[in-house]
Structure 1
Amino acid sequence: MILSVPGPATGVVAPGAPVPPAASAVLRTRLALAEPTLRAACAALWHPDGLRPRYLRYLAAMHGLIRASVPLMESAARRCAETPGDPLAERLGRYLAAHVEEERDHDAWLLDDLAAAGGDPAALLAAQPPTAVAELAGAQYYWIEHHHPVVLLGYILTLEHHAPSPLLARRLARDTGLPPAAFRTVHEHAALDGGHAADLDALLDELPLTPAQLTAVAVGALHAADGITRLFVRLTAPGGQL
Protein backbone atom coordinates (compact mmCIF):
# COMPACT_ATOMS: atom_id res chain seq x y z
CA MET A 1 0.00 0.00 0.00
CA ILE A 2 1.36 3.42 -0.95
CA LEU A 3 0.40 6.16 1.46
CA SER A 4 0.25 9.87 0.88
CA VAL A 5 0.81 11.81 4.06
CA PRO A 6 0.91 15.54 4.66
CA GLY A 7 4.21 17.02 5.68
CA PRO A 8 6.58 18.04 6.83
CA ALA A 9 5.28 17.54 10.35
CA THR A 10 7.86 19.85 11.88
CA GLY A 11 9.82 22.88 10.82
CA VAL A 12 9.21 26.53 10.05
CA VAL A 13 5.75 27.46 8.81
CA ALA A 14 5.39 30.51 6.60
CA PRO A 15 3.27 33.35 8.04
CA GLY A 16 -0.37 32.77 7.22
CA ALA A 17 0.20 29.20 6.05
CA PRO A 18 -1.88 26.43 7.62
CA VAL A 19 -0.10 24.60 10.42
CA PRO A 20 0.57 21.00 9.34
CA PRO A 21 -0.74 18.28 11.64
CA ALA A 22 1.63 16.80 14.19
CA ALA A 23 3.39 13.64 13.06
CA SER A 24 1.84 11.58 15.87
CA ALA A 25 -1.66 12.67 14.80
CA VAL A 26 -0.94 11.83 11.16
CA LEU A 27 0.33 8.40 12.12
CA ARG A 28 -2.62 7.64 14.38
CA THR A 29 -4.93 8.57 11.51
CA ARG A 30 -3.11 6.20 9.19
CA LEU A 31 -3.06 3.45 11.79
CA ALA A 32 -6.82 3.84 12.25
CA LEU A 33 -7.19 2.27 8.80
CA ALA A 34 -6.15 -1.04 10.33
CA GLU A 35 -8.14 -0.72 13.57
CA PRO A 36 -11.37 -2.56 12.66
CA THR A 37 -9.68 -5.78 11.58
CA LEU A 38 -7.13 -5.66 14.39
CA ARG A 39 -9.84 -5.15 17.03
CA ALA A 40 -11.88 -8.01 15.57
CA ALA A 41 -8.83 -10.29 15.70
CA CYS A 42 -8.18 -9.33 19.34
CA ALA A 43 -11.80 -10.00 20.29
CA ALA A 44 -11.64 -13.46 18.72
CA LEU A 45 -8.28 -14.18 20.36
CA TRP A 46 -9.63 -13.47 23.84
CA HIS A 47 -12.99 -15.22 23.42
CA PRO A 48 -13.54 -17.55 26.38
CA ASP A 49 -14.14 -20.66 24.24
CA GLY A 50 -10.89 -22.62 24.02
CA LEU A 51 -8.98 -19.75 25.60
CA ARG A 52 -6.67 -21.73 27.88
CA PRO A 53 -4.69 -23.61 25.18
CA ARG A 54 -4.91 -20.56 22.91
CA TYR A 55 -3.35 -18.40 25.63
CA LEU A 56 -0.34 -20.72 25.78
CA ARG A 57 0.05 -20.43 22.01
CA TYR A 58 -0.24 -16.66 22.35
CA LEU A 59 2.56 -16.59 24.95
CA ALA A 60 4.80 -18.62 22.65
CA ALA A 61 4.14 -16.33 19.68
CA MET A 62 4.62 -13.15 21.67
CA HIS A 63 7.87 -14.45 23.12
CA GLY A 64 9.15 -14.74 19.57
CA LEU A 65 8.28 -11.12 18.90
CA ILE A 66 9.34 -9.60 22.20
CA ARG A 67 12.72 -11.29 22.33
CA ALA A 68 13.47 -9.46 19.06
CA SER A 69 12.57 -6.04 20.51
CA VAL A 70 15.87 -5.21 22.20
CA PRO A 71 18.06 -6.50 19.33
CA LEU A 72 15.96 -4.52 16.84
CA MET A 73 16.38 -1.30 18.80
CA GLU A 74 20.09 -1.96 19.28
CA SER A 75 20.45 -2.47 15.51
CA ALA A 76 18.57 0.76 14.83
CA ALA A 77 20.67 2.67 17.39
CA ARG A 78 23.85 1.35 15.78
CA ARG A 79 22.66 2.54 12.37
CA CYS A 80 21.96 5.96 13.88
CA ALA A 81 25.52 6.12 15.18
CA GLU A 82 26.81 5.23 11.71
CA THR A 83 25.04 8.16 10.01
CA PRO A 84 26.67 11.38 11.28
CA GLY A 85 25.05 14.49 9.91
CA ASP A 86 21.60 12.91 9.76
CA PRO A 87 19.35 15.39 11.65
CA LEU A 88 17.25 12.53 12.98
CA ALA A 89 20.01 10.21 14.03
CA GLU A 90 21.23 11.70 17.31
CA ARG A 91 17.79 12.23 18.83
CA LEU A 92 16.46 8.91 17.57
CA GLY A 93 19.52 7.10 18.87
CA ARG A 94 19.07 8.57 22.36
CA TYR A 95 15.43 7.49 22.43
CA LEU A 96 16.28 3.96 21.33
CA ALA A 97 19.08 3.61 23.90
CA ALA A 98 16.68 4.59 26.69
CA HIS A 99 13.84 2.42 25.39
CA VAL A 100 16.14 -0.61 25.20
CA GLU A 101 16.54 -0.50 28.95
CA GLU A 102 12.77 -0.16 29.43
CA GLU A 103 12.14 -3.29 27.34
CA ARG A 104 15.05 -5.44 28.47
CA ASP A 105 14.20 -8.92 29.83
CA HIS A 106 10.50 -8.72 28.94
CA ASP A 107 10.99 -11.93 26.95
CA ALA A 108 11.98 -13.62 30.22
CA TRP A 109 8.64 -12.53 31.69
CA LEU A 110 6.90 -14.45 28.91
CA LEU A 111 8.89 -17.59 29.64
CA ASP A 112 7.91 -17.32 33.31
CA ASP A 113 4.26 -16.82 32.31
CA LEU A 114 4.44 -19.87 30.06
CA ALA A 115 5.90 -22.01 32.86
CA ALA A 116 3.20 -20.82 35.29
CA ALA A 117 0.56 -21.71 32.68
CA GLY A 118 1.89 -25.26 32.38
CA GLY A 119 3.96 -24.78 29.22
CA ASP A 120 7.53 -25.82 28.51
CA PRO A 121 9.93 -22.85 28.09
CA ALA A 122 12.83 -25.12 27.13
CA ALA A 123 10.84 -26.64 24.27
CA LEU A 124 9.84 -23.19 23.08
CA LEU A 125 13.45 -21.98 23.03
CA ALA A 126 14.54 -25.11 21.13
CA ALA A 127 11.86 -24.77 18.45
CA GLN A 128 12.26 -22.78 15.24
CA PRO A 129 10.23 -19.57 15.53
CA PRO A 130 7.17 -19.61 13.25
CA THR A 131 7.23 -17.79 9.94
CA ALA A 132 4.48 -15.37 11.00
CA VAL A 133 6.76 -14.09 13.77
CA ALA A 134 9.85 -14.03 11.56
CA GLU A 135 7.99 -12.01 8.93
CA LEU A 136 6.96 -9.36 11.44
CA ALA A 137 10.38 -8.88 13.03
CA GLY A 138 12.34 -9.61 9.87
CA ALA A 139 10.83 -6.71 7.95
CA GLN A 140 12.11 -4.37 10.64
CA TYR A 141 15.67 -5.67 10.28
CA TYR A 142 15.48 -5.15 6.53
CA TRP A 143 14.21 -1.58 6.76
CA ILE A 144 16.74 -0.69 9.45
CA GLU A 145 19.66 -1.96 7.38
CA HIS A 146 18.52 -1.04 3.90
CA HIS A 147 16.38 2.07 4.34
CA HIS A 148 16.39 4.11 7.55
CA PRO A 149 16.18 3.14 11.26
CA VAL A 150 13.34 5.63 11.80
CA VAL A 151 10.99 3.05 10.20
CA LEU A 152 11.23 1.04 13.42
CA LEU A 153 9.18 3.73 15.16
CA GLY A 154 6.14 2.58 13.17
CA TYR A 155 6.51 -0.93 14.56
CA ILE A 156 6.97 0.39 18.10
CA LEU A 157 4.01 2.75 17.64
CA THR A 158 1.69 -0.11 16.73
CA LEU A 159 2.73 -2.18 19.73
CA GLU A 160 2.65 0.65 22.27
CA HIS A 161 -0.69 2.05 21.10
CA HIS A 162 -2.37 -1.34 21.46
CA ALA A 163 -1.49 -2.02 25.07
CA PRO A 164 -3.59 -4.55 27.02
CA SER A 165 -6.52 -3.22 29.03
CA PRO A 166 -5.75 -2.93 32.76
CA LEU A 167 -8.59 -5.42 33.36
CA LEU A 168 -7.43 -7.99 30.81
CA ALA A 169 -5.13 -10.00 33.09
CA ARG A 170 -7.88 -10.48 35.65
CA ARG A 171 -10.39 -11.50 32.98
CA LEU A 172 -7.97 -13.97 31.41
CA ALA A 173 -7.25 -15.55 34.79
CA ARG A 174 -10.99 -15.96 35.36
CA ASP A 175 -11.70 -17.39 31.90
CA THR A 176 -8.72 -19.77 31.77
CA GLY A 177 -8.52 -20.85 35.42
CA LEU A 178 -4.76 -20.24 35.31
CA PRO A 179 -2.93 -18.69 38.28
CA PRO A 180 -2.20 -14.92 38.38
CA ALA A 181 1.50 -15.69 37.87
CA ALA A 182 0.69 -16.69 34.28
CA PHE A 183 -0.29 -13.11 33.38
CA ARG A 184 2.63 -10.96 34.48
CA THR A 185 3.44 -9.74 30.97
CA VAL A 186 -0.16 -8.73 30.23
CA HIS A 187 -0.44 -6.99 33.61
CA GLU A 188 2.89 -5.15 33.38
CA HIS A 189 2.36 -3.96 29.81
CA ALA A 190 -1.08 -2.63 30.70
CA ALA A 191 0.66 -0.44 33.27
CA LEU A 192 3.74 0.52 31.23
CA ASP A 193 2.69 0.96 27.62
CA GLY A 194 0.49 4.02 28.09
CA GLY A 195 3.49 6.02 29.26
CA HIS A 196 5.66 4.57 26.52
CA ALA A 197 3.07 5.57 23.91
CA ALA A 198 2.99 9.15 25.20
CA ASP A 199 6.79 9.34 25.09
CA LEU A 200 6.79 8.04 21.53
CA ASP A 201 4.16 10.56 20.42
CA ALA A 202 6.27 13.37 21.88
CA LEU A 203 9.35 12.07 20.07
CA LEU A 204 7.55 11.82 16.73
CA ASP A 205 6.33 15.40 17.06
CA GLU A 206 9.86 16.57 17.91
CA LEU A 207 11.80 14.79 15.16
CA PRO A 208 12.46 16.72 11.91
CA LEU A 209 10.71 14.09 9.77
CA THR A 210 10.59 14.68 6.04
CA PRO A 211 7.36 13.73 4.22
CA ALA A 212 9.07 10.61 2.89
CA GLN A 213 10.25 9.59 6.36
CA LEU A 214 6.78 10.13 7.81
CA THR A 215 5.38 7.93 5.06
CA ALA A 216 8.00 5.27 5.84
CA VAL A 217 7.04 5.24 9.52
CA ALA A 218 3.35 4.97 8.55
CA VAL A 219 4.09 2.05 6.23
CA GLY A 220 6.00 0.35 9.05
CA ALA A 221 3.09 0.89 11.45
CA LEU A 222 0.51 -0.50 9.02
CA HIS A 223 2.73 -3.46 8.15
CA ALA A 224 3.01 -4.27 11.86
CA ALA A 225 -0.74 -3.92 12.40
CA ASP A 226 -1.45 -6.21 9.45
CA GLY A 227 1.11 -8.77 10.63
CA ILE A 228 -0.22 -8.82 14.19
CA THR A 229 -3.78 -9.16 12.89
CA ARG A 230 -2.79 -12.14 10.73
CA LEU A 231 -0.88 -13.65 13.64
CA PHE A 232 -3.93 -13.41 15.93
CA VAL A 233 -6.21 -14.82 13.23
CA ARG A 234 -3.94 -17.83 12.84
CA LEU A 235 -3.79 -18.33 16.62
CA THR A 236 -7.59 -18.32 16.72
CA ALA A 237 -8.09 -20.68 13.79
CA PRO A 238 -8.85 -24.37 14.49
CA GLY A 239 -5.59 -25.93 15.60
CA GLY A 240 -4.00 -22.52 16.02
CA GLN A 241 -0.81 -23.49 14.26
CA LEU A 242 1.53 -20.75 13.08
Structure 2
Amino acid sequence: MSLSAGASLRFELSLVQPVLRAAAARMWRSDAGLPGRYRHYLRAMHQVIRASVPLMERAAARCEALPRDPVAPPLARYLRAHAEQERGHDDWLLTDAAATGAAPGELAGAAPPAHVAALVGAQYYWIEHSHPVVLLGYIAVLEGNAPAPGLAGRLASETGLPQAAFETLRLHADLDDGHSADLDRLIDRLPLDPAQRSLVAVSALHTIAALAELFDRIATAPHVSESAHD
Protein backbone atom coordinates (compact mmCIF):
# COMPACT_ATOMS: atom_id res chain seq x y z
CA MET A 1 0.00 0.00 0.00
CA SER A 2 1.37 3.42 -0.93
CA LEU A 3 2.09 5.97 1.79
CA SER A 4 -0.15 8.97 2.30
CA ALA A 5 1.27 12.36 1.35
CA GLY A 6 1.96 13.23 4.99
CA ALA A 7 3.56 9.88 5.77
CA SER A 8 5.65 10.04 2.62
CA LEU A 9 6.97 13.48 3.58
CA ARG A 10 7.81 12.32 7.09
CA PHE A 11 9.66 9.30 5.70
CA GLU A 12 11.72 11.46 3.35
CA LEU A 13 12.58 13.85 6.16
CA SER A 14 13.56 10.99 8.47
CA LEU A 15 16.35 10.11 6.05
CA VAL A 16 18.02 13.54 6.38
CA GLN A 17 17.01 14.67 9.86
CA PRO A 18 20.17 13.12 11.43
CA VAL A 19 22.12 15.88 9.65
CA LEU A 20 20.05 18.53 11.41
CA ARG A 21 20.21 16.77 14.77
CA ALA A 22 24.00 16.49 14.52
CA ALA A 23 24.28 20.21 13.76
CA ALA A 24 22.04 21.02 16.72
CA ALA A 25 24.16 18.81 18.99
CA ARG A 26 27.29 20.69 17.92
CA MET A 27 25.57 24.00 18.58
CA TRP A 28 24.41 22.95 22.07
CA ARG A 29 27.66 21.24 23.13
CA SER A 30 28.68 21.90 26.71
CA ASP A 31 31.68 24.22 26.83
CA ALA A 32 32.64 27.78 27.75
CA GLY A 33 31.24 29.16 24.50
CA LEU A 34 27.69 27.96 25.13
CA PRO A 35 26.33 31.27 26.54
CA GLY A 36 27.60 33.15 23.50
CA ARG A 37 26.21 30.57 21.11
CA TYR A 38 22.83 30.77 22.79
CA ARG A 39 22.78 34.53 22.31
CA HIS A 40 23.75 34.01 18.67
CA TYR A 41 20.95 31.44 18.35
CA LEU A 42 18.37 33.91 19.69
CA ARG A 43 19.46 36.54 17.17
CA ALA A 44 19.40 34.10 14.24
CA MET A 45 16.07 32.56 15.18
CA HIS A 46 14.50 35.99 15.60
CA GLN A 47 15.56 36.74 12.03
CA VAL A 48 13.91 33.50 10.89
CA ILE A 49 10.76 33.59 13.00
CA ARG A 50 9.86 37.20 12.33
CA ALA A 51 9.28 36.10 8.72
CA SER A 52 6.84 33.32 9.64
CA VAL A 53 3.61 35.31 9.77
CA PRO A 54 4.41 37.42 6.67
CA LEU A 55 5.25 34.24 4.76
CA MET A 56 1.98 32.57 5.71
CA GLU A 57 -0.02 35.70 4.94
CA ARG A 58 1.60 36.04 1.53
CA ALA A 59 1.04 32.37 0.74
CA ALA A 60 -2.61 32.67 1.81
CA ALA A 61 -3.06 35.71 -0.43
CA ARG A 62 -1.58 33.77 -3.35
CA CYS A 63 -4.02 30.93 -2.62
CA GLU A 64 -6.92 33.35 -2.67
CA ALA A 65 -5.84 34.43 -6.16
CA LEU A 66 -6.17 30.82 -7.36
CA PRO A 67 -9.95 30.23 -7.03
CA ARG A 68 -10.04 27.25 -9.41
CA ASP A 69 -7.25 25.38 -7.68
CA PRO A 70 -8.77 22.73 -5.36
CA VAL A 71 -5.76 22.93 -3.03
CA ALA A 72 -5.96 26.69 -2.58
CA PRO A 73 -9.09 27.26 -0.41
CA PRO A 74 -8.30 24.75 2.38
CA LEU A 75 -4.63 25.74 2.28
CA ALA A 76 -5.52 29.43 2.65
CA ARG A 77 -7.76 28.68 5.63
CA TYR A 78 -4.98 26.71 7.32
CA LEU A 79 -2.38 29.41 6.67
CA ARG A 80 -4.60 32.22 7.95
CA ALA A 81 -5.38 30.30 11.14
CA HIS A 82 -1.79 29.20 11.68
CA ALA A 83 -0.51 32.73 11.16
CA GLU A 84 -2.64 33.81 14.12
CA GLN A 85 -1.23 30.97 16.22
CA GLU A 86 2.32 32.08 15.39
CA ARG A 87 1.78 35.83 15.68
CA GLY A 88 4.05 37.45 18.25
CA HIS A 89 6.48 34.54 18.61
CA ASP A 90 9.31 36.75 17.35
CA ASP A 91 8.58 39.04 20.30
CA TRP A 92 9.13 36.08 22.64
CA LEU A 93 12.68 35.85 21.31
CA LEU A 94 13.25 39.57 21.93
CA THR A 95 12.12 39.07 25.53
CA ASP A 96 14.45 36.09 25.95
CA ALA A 97 17.35 38.09 24.50
CA ALA A 98 16.67 40.96 26.89
CA ALA A 99 16.91 38.48 29.77
CA THR A 100 20.42 37.56 28.59
CA GLY A 101 21.46 41.22 28.75
CA ALA A 102 21.08 42.09 25.07
CA ALA A 103 20.72 45.80 24.44
CA PRO A 104 17.32 47.08 23.22
CA GLY A 105 17.22 46.89 19.43
CA GLU A 106 20.23 44.55 19.21
CA LEU A 107 18.21 41.75 17.61
CA ALA A 108 15.59 43.69 15.71
CA GLY A 109 18.16 46.01 14.19
CA ALA A 110 20.57 43.34 12.97
CA ALA A 111 20.72 42.75 9.21
CA PRO A 112 20.05 39.07 8.37
CA PRO A 113 23.12 37.36 6.90
CA ALA A 114 22.99 35.64 3.54
CA HIS A 115 22.49 32.15 4.96
CA VAL A 116 19.36 33.29 6.85
CA ALA A 117 18.07 35.01 3.72
CA ALA A 118 18.68 31.77 1.81
CA LEU A 119 16.70 29.75 4.36
CA VAL A 120 13.68 32.06 4.39
CA GLY A 121 13.95 33.72 0.99
CA ALA A 122 13.61 30.52 -1.00
CA GLN A 123 10.05 30.27 0.31
CA TYR A 124 9.15 33.71 -0.98
CA TYR A 125 10.49 32.77 -4.41
CA TRP A 126 8.57 29.51 -4.59
CA ILE A 127 5.37 31.11 -3.28
CA GLU A 128 5.52 33.78 -5.96
CA HIS A 129 6.79 31.72 -8.87
CA SER A 130 5.53 28.19 -8.23
CA HIS A 131 2.70 27.38 -5.80
CA PRO A 132 2.01 28.49 -2.20
CA VAL A 133 1.69 24.86 -1.09
CA VAL A 134 5.50 24.90 -0.98
CA LEU A 135 5.34 26.58 2.43
CA LEU A 136 4.05 23.36 4.00
CA GLY A 137 7.48 21.79 3.56
CA TYR A 138 9.11 24.68 5.41
CA ILE A 139 6.56 24.56 8.23
CA ALA A 140 6.89 20.77 8.49
CA VAL A 141 10.61 21.07 9.20
CA LEU A 142 10.42 23.96 11.65
CA GLU A 143 7.61 22.39 13.65
CA GLY A 144 8.74 18.80 13.23
CA ASN A 145 12.02 19.53 14.99
CA ALA A 146 10.80 21.06 18.22
CA PRO A 147 13.31 21.60 21.05
CA ALA A 148 13.67 18.60 23.34
CA PRO A 149 11.61 19.06 26.52
CA GLY A 150 14.68 19.15 28.77
CA LEU A 151 16.82 21.42 26.60
CA ALA A 152 15.80 24.73 28.16
CA GLY A 153 16.57 23.48 31.66
CA ARG A 154 19.96 22.09 30.64
CA LEU A 155 20.96 25.29 28.88
CA ALA A 156 19.88 27.41 31.84
CA SER A 157 21.96 25.24 34.16
CA GLU A 158 25.05 25.15 31.95
CA THR A 159 25.07 28.76 30.77
CA GLY A 160 24.21 30.43 34.06
CA LEU A 161 21.75 32.65 32.20
CA PRO A 162 18.38 33.42 33.84
CA GLN A 163 15.53 30.95 33.43
CA ALA A 164 13.58 33.77 31.77
CA ALA A 165 16.01 33.65 28.84
CA PHE A 166 14.68 30.23 27.74
CA GLU A 167 10.91 30.73 27.60
CA THR A 168 10.65 30.38 23.82
CA LEU A 169 12.44 27.01 23.89
CA ARG A 170 10.11 25.82 26.65
CA LEU A 171 6.97 26.98 24.88
CA HIS A 172 7.92 25.51 21.51
CA ALA A 173 8.78 22.18 23.10
CA ASP A 174 5.14 22.07 24.25
CA LEU A 175 3.40 23.60 21.21
CA ASP A 176 5.10 22.28 18.12
CA ASP A 177 4.19 18.60 18.45
CA GLY A 178 0.49 19.48 18.24
CA HIS A 179 1.07 21.83 15.33
CA SER A 180 3.04 19.14 13.51
CA ALA A 181 0.19 16.66 13.89
CA ASP A 182 -2.28 19.22 12.53
CA LEU A 183 -0.03 19.76 9.52
CA ASP A 184 0.23 16.04 8.81
CA ARG A 185 -3.54 15.77 8.76
CA LEU A 186 -3.82 18.77 6.43
CA ILE A 187 -1.28 17.37 3.97
CA ASP A 188 -3.21 14.10 3.87
CA ARG A 189 -6.52 15.91 3.24
CA LEU A 190 -5.30 18.21 0.47
CA PRO A 191 -5.81 16.93 -3.11
CA LEU A 192 -2.13 17.34 -3.97
CA ASP A 193 -1.02 16.32 -7.42
CA PRO A 194 2.42 14.69 -7.91
CA ALA A 195 4.07 18.00 -8.80
CA GLN A 196 2.74 19.65 -5.65
CA ARG A 197 3.84 16.75 -3.48
CA SER A 198 7.28 17.03 -5.00
CA LEU A 199 7.39 20.77 -4.40
CA VAL A 200 6.55 20.33 -0.71
CA ALA A 201 9.31 17.73 -0.40
CA VAL A 202 11.88 19.92 -2.18
CA SER A 203 11.03 22.81 0.13
CA ALA A 204 11.35 20.61 3.21
CA LEU A 205 14.71 19.18 2.13
CA HIS A 206 16.03 22.66 1.35
CA THR A 207 14.87 23.82 4.77
CA ILE A 208 16.65 20.94 6.52
CA ALA A 209 19.91 21.71 4.69
CA ALA A 210 19.71 25.47 5.25
CA LEU A 211 18.77 25.12 8.92
CA ALA A 212 21.64 22.68 9.48
CA GLU A 213 24.00 25.21 7.90
CA LEU A 214 22.62 27.91 10.20
CA PHE A 215 23.22 25.74 13.27
CA ASP A 216 26.72 24.88 12.11
CA ARG A 217 27.54 28.56 11.64
CA ILE A 218 26.38 29.21 15.19
CA ALA A 219 28.39 26.21 16.42
CA THR A 220 31.58 27.61 14.90
CA ALA A 221 30.96 31.30 15.60
CA PRO A 222 33.72 33.19 17.44
CA HIS A 223 33.30 33.22 21.20
CA VAL A 224 31.18 36.13 22.44
CA SER A 225 32.60 37.49 25.67
CA GLU A 226 30.36 38.00 28.67
CA SER A 227 31.58 41.59 28.98
CA ALA A 228 29.94 42.40 25.65
CA HIS A 229 26.56 41.84 27.30
CA ASP A 230 27.17 43.35 30.74
Normalising by structure 1, report the TM-score. Answer: 0.90
Q: How does 1:198-237 map to 2 (within 5 A)?
A: 198-237=181-220
Whole-Å Cα distance in 1 between the matches of residues 45 and 215 of structure 2?
10
State the match for 2:2 in structure 1: 20
Whole-Å Cα distance in 1 between the matches of residues 104 and 121 of structure 2?
23
Structure 2: tracts of 5 or more residues without a match: 225-230
Q: How many residues align?
A: 223
Whole-Å Cα distance in 1 between the matches of residues 207 and 182 of structure 2?
19
Q: Give the letter for the 1:113 counterpart.
A: D
| Aligned match for 2:160, one of 177, 189, 194 | 177
Q: Is the 8 A contact 2:39 2:100 kept in 1?
A: yes
Change (3 A) 1:240 1:134: farther
Q: Give the letter for the 1:184 counterpart.
A: E
Report deviation, 1:240: 7.0
State the match for 2:89 in structure 1: 106
Q: Is the 8 A contact 2:71 2:192 kept in 1?
A: yes
User: Displaced runs of 4+ in structure 1, greater than 2 A?
Assistant: none
- Equivalent position SS for 1:186: helix
Q: Is the 8 A contact 1:68 1:137 kept in 2?
A: yes
Q: Is the 8 A contact 1:80 1:149 kept in 2?
A: yes
Whole-Å Cα distance in 1 between the matches of residues 147 and 21 of structure 2?
12
State the match for 1:149 in structure 2: 132
State the match for 2:35 in structure 1: 52
Percent of aligned positions that are identical: 58
Q: Is the 8 A contact 1:164 1:186 kept in 2?
A: yes
Q: Is the 8 A contact 1:45 1:235 kept in 2?
A: yes
| Farther off after superposition, 157-166 or 126-135 | 126-135
Report deviation, 1:123: 2.3
| Aligned match for 1:159, one of 142, 145, 169 | 142
Report deviation, 1:52: 0.4
Whole-Å Cα distance in 2 between the matches of residues 135 and 121 of structure 1?
26
